[in-house]
Amino acid sequence: MTGLLRTAGAATVPSPCIDVCRIDAATGWCEGCLRTIDEIGAWGALDDRAKRDIWKRLPARRASCHPEQSEGSQGLDRDPSLRSG
């Protein structure tokens, strides 16, 4: 039972990584998940609030790079805590 208590809250906010890991020199964002190298490096140590803050930035980044793609493309809608309604 103790093991369940320790892992119950782990990884509650999923990583936006989609395994397309290349940093765009012009934007400084990963071409797959649109995080900065600092955001990627810090991800494992961030609390859920900080992770959600990063998730909230991603649709605007996607729109500025790829205005033809919707917010939900490329897995950016995977975090259910960011959905409205």
| 9 vs 33 pLDDT, higher one | 33
Residue of 49, 55, 25 whose CA lies nearest to 37? 25
- List, for residues 26-77, the tens digit of each pLDDT value: 999 999 999 999 999 999 999 999 999 999 999 999 999 877 665 454 555 5
pLDDT at 66: 73
| 11 vs 4 pLDDT, higher one | 11
pLDDT at 27: 95
Query: Using an 8 Å Cβ cutoff, are 54 and 35 in contact?
Result: yes
Phi/psi-derived region of residue 33, left when phi > 0, alpha when psi is between -120 and 50, beta in every other case:
alpha
| 9 vs 41 pLDDT, higher one | 41
- Virtual CA dihedral for 33, 38, 41, 43, nearest 10 degrees? -70
In sequence order, what are the residues at sequence separation of 6 or more whose Cβ sits closer than 8 angstroms to the Cβ of residue 36?
28, 29, 30
